[in-house]
C-alpha cells in the first residue's frame, strides 16, 4: 500500500522552506513512491483540514523561492484561537491526520514547532521534523536553514551602513533579529566589521559601550557601528528581569516579547549613546527584511540535504525525530531531547573570542 506523507510549515517564514518542502516531497515520491500532501498555514491548516497536492508539478521551480508555498502561522495545537476562544484542538488534528490516511507528518519549524510536534507525537502521531529559523537557536543541530541567508542580508546591511556612518560621523545602532540567542547579530557583526556587538547572552553596560565608541573617536574614527540583537539587555534590565522572574517563579523561557518592546530598547540605547558620546546616533531596525528573499546556496543545499534525510527516516519507519545537521551529514535526534531547549551563544564561543581578538566591544 502506498504511504501518504503530510507536510506543514509553522512559525515565522524563513528562506529555504520551499527548498526543504521540495527535498522531502521529491525524495518521498521519486525514491519511495509515496503520496505527498501539504497542509496550508501550519497547524491551523491541519486543524481545519486545508490541504494541497504536492506533486511533481507543484514542487518544480520552488527551490529558489523565498517564503513557503504552504503558508505558515504561529498557531499551537493545544492553544488555538477558534471562534473567539482559545481551545485545545489536538483531538481534531489527530482526527484529520487519520482522515487523510497519513503515515507520517513532517513539520518544518523552529523551537516552537519542535514543542508542538512533540505534543502530537505524544498524542500518537508519527512525526518527523526539520529545523528552520534565521535565529539558529534550535537545540542539537549545528545549524538551521534560513540562518545563512539572513546572515548575508544582515551583513550586507551593516556594509551599507558603514558609508553613511563614516560620512556623517555618526553612531549607527542596527537592530538584528534574535530575541533569545545572539547568533545572527554576532555573525553579522563580525562579518560586517561592527565596532560593538550586543547579544542576549552577554548583558552590557551602556557606559562601557560609550567608552569604546569614545576611544575610537580619540583615535580619529568619529563613527561607530553597533550591532544589537533585539533581545540584548543592559545589565540593569537583565537584573530587573531576573528579579521579576524569581517573583513569578517562572521556570520556562518566556514567550517572545512584542516587537515594539525590542524597538523601544533600541531607540533608548541610541539616545543613551548620543548623550554619553556627544555623537549623533541613528537607529536602524532591519526587522522582517532579514526573513525575505531568495535563499542562499548554502541554505538551499542544507534544506535539500535535511529534506531527503527526512524521507529516508520515514521509509525506515523511524518517527519522533528531528533531522539535525552534523557536518556534511545528518543525524536523527529524539524530539524529546530537542523540544523546549534553546541553543544560545556560549560566552567563550570561538566567534566571541575572534570578535574580541579584533577589538570588538561586547559592552561588558
Q: Which residues are catalytic?
A: 135
Judge residue 33's burial from the number of C-beta atoms within 10 Å of its C-beta, 0-12 exposed, 13-18 middle, 19 or more buried: exposed
Secondary structure letter of residue 76 according to DSSP: B
Buried b (16+ CB within 10 A) or exposed e, 228-243: bbbbbbbbeeeeeeee
Cα–Cα distance list, 69 to 41, 107, 120 (Å): 9, 14, 23
**Strand spans (E) along the chain:** 4-9, 35-39, 51-53, 80-82, 85-87, 104-109, 127-131, 170-176, 196-198, 224-229, 280-285, 321-326, 329-334
Q: Are 110 and 184 in contact (CB under 8 A)?
A: no
Residue 268: DSSP 8-state: H
Q: Give the helix, strand, coil percentages of the chain, each rounded to 5.
A: 45, 20, 35
Using CA atoms of 14, 18, 19, 22 in order, give the dihedral in degrees to the nearest 10. Answer: 150
- Cβ contacts of 351 within 8 Å, gap of 6 or more: 186, 187, 190, 345
Distance from C-alpha of 242 to C-alpha of 244, rounded to nearest angstrom: 5
Q: Pairing relation of β-strands 80-82 and 85-87? A: antiparallel
Q: How many CB atoms lie under 10 A from the CB of residue 285? A: 18
Contact present, 149 and 299 (Cβ < 8 Å):
yes
Report how far Cα 261 is from the mean position of its chain's Cα atoms. Answer: 19
For the record, the C-alpha cell of 212 comes out as 569604546
Amino acid at each position: 500500500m502506498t504511504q501518504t506523507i503530510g507536510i506543514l510549515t509553522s512559525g515565522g517564514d524563513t528562506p529555504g522552506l520551499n527548498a526543504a518542502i521540495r527535498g522531502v516531497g521529491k525524495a518521498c515520491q521519486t525514491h519511495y513512491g509515496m503520496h505527498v500532501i501539504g497542509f496550508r498555514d501550519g497547524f491551523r491548516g491541519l486543524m481545519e483540514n486545508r490541504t494541497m497536492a504536492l506533486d511533481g508539478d507543484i514542487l518544480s521551480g520552488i527551490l529558489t523561492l523565498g517564503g513557503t508555498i504552504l503558508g505558515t502561522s504561529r498557531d499551537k495545537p493545544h492553544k488555538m484561537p477558534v471562534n473567539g476562544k482559545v481551545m485545545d484542538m489536538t483531538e481534531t488534528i489527530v482526527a484529520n491526520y487519520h482522515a487523510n490516511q497519513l503515515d507520517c507528518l513532517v513539520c518544518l519549524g523552529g523551537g516552537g514547532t519542535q514543542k508542538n510536534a512533540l505534543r502530537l507525537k505524544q498524542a500518537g502521531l508519527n512525526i518527523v521534523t526539520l529545523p528552520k529559523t534565521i535565529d539558529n537557536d534550535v537545540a542539537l543541530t549545528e545549524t538551521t536553514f534560513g540562518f545563512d541567508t539572513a546572515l548575508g542580508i544582515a551583513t550586507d546591511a551593516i556594509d551599507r551602513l558603514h558609508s553613511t556612518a563614516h560620512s556623517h560621523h555618526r553612531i549607527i545602532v542596527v537592530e538584528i533579529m534574535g530575541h533569545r540567542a545572539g547568533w545572527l547579530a554576532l555573525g553579522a557583526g563580525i562579518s560586517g566589521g561592527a565596532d560593538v556587538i550586543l547579544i542576549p547572552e552577554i548583558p552590557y553596560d551602556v557606559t562601557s559601550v560609550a567608552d569604546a565608541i569614545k576611544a575610537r573617536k580619540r583615535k580619529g574614527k568619529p563613527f561607530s557601528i553597533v550591532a544589537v540583537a533585539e533581545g540584548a539587555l543592559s545589565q540593569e534590565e537583565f537584573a530587573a528581569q531576573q528579579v521579576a522572574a524569581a517573583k513569578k517563579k517562572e521556570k520556562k523561557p518566556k514567550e517572545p516579547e512584542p516587537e515594539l518592546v525590542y524597538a523601544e530598547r533600541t531607540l533608548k540605547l541610541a539616545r543613551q549613546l548620543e548623550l554619553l558620546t556627544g555623537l549623533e546616533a541613528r537607529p536602524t531596525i532591519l526587522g522582517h527584511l532579514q526573513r525575505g528573499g531568495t535563499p542562499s546556496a548554502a541554505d538551499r543545499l542544507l534544506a535539500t540535504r535535511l529534506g531527503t534525510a527526512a524521507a529516508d527516516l520515514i521509509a525506515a519507519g523511524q518517527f519522533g525525530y528531528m533531522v539535525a545537521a552534523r557536518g556534511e551529514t545528518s543525524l536523527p535526534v529524539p524530539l524529546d531531547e530537542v523540544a523546549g531547549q534553546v541553543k544560545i551563544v556560549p560566552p567563550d564561543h570561538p566567534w566571541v573570542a575572534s570578535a574580541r581578538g579584533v577589538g570588538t566591544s561586547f559592552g561588558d
